[in-house]
Amino acid sequence: MFPSVCSSKPEEVVTVDVSQAKTLLQFGHQYLDVRTQEEFRKGHCQAPQILNVPYMLSTPQGRVKNQDFLDQVSSLLNPTDDILVGCQSGARSFNATTELVAAGFKKVKNVGGGYLAWVDHSFPINKEQQSAN
């Protein structure tokens, strides 16, 4: 890994809206949902290829950054894969996308508005079966 200090061309995060994201998913992009597992189970966008790797973890003290995020993503996806990164509203996914770009992921895009925008557009969602609660 090379430090990004003195980089003459900082990598910029590309953000797409949920309508663009939905189209890209139909053309083989993978969806990386960076919300917590609890959020993911409550509902996530319907995508042929979807992974959940939390960027933040819920702890008794509140949410903390998942220190293994890059390693976990790197074990599941390649730096040359077409990847859309989404969260609840777009903030965590922007930070996660920034880290992925800095780590050498070349074709990663942030989904602006996240899951909330996906639901607002009435796009299809999946919910995992809830046990009695």
Active site residues: 87
At residue 38, the 3 state secondary structure works out as helix
62: left (phi over 0), alpha (psi -120 to 50) or beta: left
| Other beta carbons within 10 Å of 131 | 5
The DSSP string of 94-114 is HHHHHHHHHTT-SSEEEETTH
